[in-house]
Amino acid sequence: MADVKKKATRESYGEALTELAEQYPELVVLDADLAAATKTGIFKKAYPERFFDCGIAEANMMGVAAGLAASGMIPFASTFAMFAAGRAYEIVRNSIGYPHLNVKIGATHAGISVGEDGATHQCNEDIALMRTIPGMTVIVPCDDVEAKAAVKAAIVHDGPVYMRFGRLAAPILNDPETYQFALGKGVTLRDGTDITIVAAGLMVAEALDAAEMLAAEGISARVINIHTIKPLDKALICKAAKETGCIVTVEEHSIIGGLGSAVADCVTECCPVPVHKIGVQDEFGHSGPAADLLKEFGLSAEHIAEVIRESLKL
Amino acid sequence: MDETIKKQLQRTACRVRMGVLTGTFHARSGHPGGSLSIADLLTYLYFVKLHVDPKHPDMPDRDRLVLSKGHCAPALYAVLAERGFFPAKELESLRHIGAMLQGHPCIKTPGVDMSSGSLGQGISAACGMALAGKLHAASYRVYAILGDGEIEEGQVWEAAMFAAHYRLDNLLAIVDNNGLQIDGKITDVCSPEPIDEKFRAFGWYVITLDDAHDLDKLEAAFDEAESVTGQPVVIIQKSVKGKGVSFMEDQVSWHGAAPNAEQYAQAMQELEAALAGTEV
């Protein structure tokens, strides 16, 4: 994918907020001293009177967002995934989730691809944490086009939404002219009959590359981009399970509780087939360049292809 | 304060206390001690200060009240019932399966502006409401009631910083300083004192009220609070946990225990007597 244009989805987030601000006057943005990194700084520059820095105090930021939403605003609370879903978990659960308030959480720097900052900042647990909260929508967009569409969908949706963005530039896979985003509806990017790869975020591009490699070997892999992890597109997943008989999930997240678990939960009920989960194992990350870490932790097209070859031998 | 109004408020506060007892007795659980210490405060707010309409609990320009010390929901429910948000009969099913009145405040209940109960969180939500009021150029005020034990939570101080930084002078916090928390005296557990100096250092206008059960003093404190501009205000009210029921007063054991039938009868008898003593 060397020739494909790339952009980090956190940047798309900051741009989308700015682009949508005029149309949605109730939209306000909160950040916790990370505006330069979460890219809400783009919004801050354009709409300083609608941007509120909460300082390094994520718990309070989530509570303030709850209060704003309870008073008719549409707040986007922004910080790194580690602090949004990790540090502030209980506030998100009790002050946003329980009263089902219209708060949008923009969580950037998710996953192992944070890179050099290391394990303390590599949040591989946020999807698991957020999807256990009743009524919480969880979106993991794969590229610039989808990230912007997700922000718009989050505004239109009435209720709490957790959006997961990455630090690393991601290949732009979708065409902004034709792309249609439907909350809770997965996208089949490539048809296939032998196996289905279900991927989200940065892993969608890797999944497509893996399918391409496998095609050359005569293996037909279906690729589903499941941008909404909750509510999960159960119909699409069950159809894939029935038609291809085997599923591989790929996520830049722990294999415990994330996309893989959600898919496994789903097929267990409708069509039990083997589900191979590719993701960060039950371990912490460490420092290093993002690209090297992704390879090391098995989050590459090569590793996906390898897992599929093995699984089809079984 | 006008003597007739004062007597009426005292009678209402007395009925609110009865509601606290009725609720916790029927629930066989709950938190009567801290509920009784804010009974006068809530009565004063809902019958004198708050711009609310029981027929339109969601009206946009209403004043908001966040009970950050959410475990004292029995007092909030009792005062909301008195004010006409729902029938007092609901108090008898507090904490029961299928009941409207949950163990801690839930935003779905008419008159409840924010779900709360996990300590330290309500004040942040109140900050958000106050900020929204500023953005809408609305005239409403936001009141947040915190426990003195609750302010041991770090989130309270994050919120305190935020409120001062954004000059939320439409936010009024009340710290119910009854001096007791579950494990004992606040000064023995992990002291949050000096509370006034802490808030002052965080940029708040601080009012100390030496008797939270004296309506004239309550009125004076709130009158002073309303004259402040450019910064948030906190009223630190010295109160008595369990106030109004002899055997509950200043007893930490009544933080989270319900009265049995005999205790309930005695408490109601005492409150009936108090009510008779305030007949207009």
Assess if residue A176 is contained within a domain: no
Q: What is the Cα–Cα distance from A154 to A176, expressed in whole angstroms?
A: 18
* Alpha-carbon radius of gyration of chain A: 19
Distance of CA A64 to the CA centre of its chain: 24
The residue segments making up the domain with residue B250 are 3-276
In Å, how far is A65's CA from the nearest CA of chain B?
6
Assess if residue A61 is contained within a domain: yes
Q: Domain boundary at A116, A144, A171, which?
A: A171
Please count the structural domains in chain A.
2
Measure CB to CB from residue A95 to each of B124, B130, B166 and give the nearest one: B124
Q: Please check whether residue B158 touches A, CB under 8 A.
A: yes
Averaged pLDDT score across all residues of chain A: 97
Domain identity same for A241 and A94: no
Task: Write down the pTM of the prediction.
Answer: 0.97
Residues in chain B, pLDDT under 70: 280
Which pLDDT value is given to residue A314?
65
Contacts of A6 (CB under 8 A, 6+ apart): A169, A170, A171, A172
Domain identity same for A157 and A267: no
Distance of CA A204 to the CA centre of its chain: 11
CATH number for B172: 3.40.50.970
Nearest Cα to Cα of residue B161 among B123, B189, B188: B123
Measure CB to CB from residue A70 to each of B118, B121, B125 and give the nearest one: B125
> How does pLDDT run across B27-76, given as a tens digit for each residue?
999 999 999 999 999 999 999 999 999 999 999 999 999 999 999 999 99
The residue segments making up the domain with residue A213 are 187-313
Assess if residue A181 is contained within a domain: no
Q: What is the Cα–Cα distance from A197 to A210, expressed in whole angstroms?
A: 9
Domain identity same for A62 and A92: yes
Nearest Cα to Cα of residue B31 among B176, B187, B234: B176
Domain identity same for A139 and A222: no
Instruction: Please report, as a single letter, which amino acid is at residue A15.
Output: E
Domain identity same for A152 and A94: yes
Assess if residue A88 is contained within a domain: yes
Domain identity same for A164 and A196: no
> How does pLDDT run across A147-172, given as a tens digit for each residue?
999 999 999 999 999 999 999 999 99
Half-sphere exposure of A61 toward its Cβ, with a 13 Å CA cutoff?
A: 31
Q: Please check whether residue B124 touches A, CB under 8 A.
A: yes
Measure CB to CB from residue B127 to each of A67, A94, A98 and give the nearest one: A67
Residues belonging to chain A with any Cβ–Cβ distance to chain B shorter than 8 Å: 28, 50, 52, 54-55, 57, 59-73, 75, 90-91, 94-95, 98-99
Would you write out chain A's pLDDT as a tens digit for each of its 314 residues? 557 899 999 999 999 999 999 999 999 999 999 999 999 999 999 999 999 999 999 999 999 999 999 999 999 999 999 999 999 999 999 999 999 999 999 999 999 999 999 999 999 999 999 999 999 999 999 999 999 999 999 999 999 999 999 999 999 999 999 999 999 999 999 999 999 999 999 999 999 999 999 999 999 999 999 999 999 999 999 999 999 999 999 999 999 999 999 999 999 999 999 999 999 999 999 999 999 999 999 999 999 999 999 999 86
Interface test with A, best of B131, B146, B167 (most A CBs within 10 A): B131
Identify whether A58 is a catalytic site residue.
yes
Please count the structural domains in chain B.
1
Which pLDDT value is given to residue A201?
98
Which pLDDT value is given to residue A313?
87
Domain identity same for A276 and A206: yes
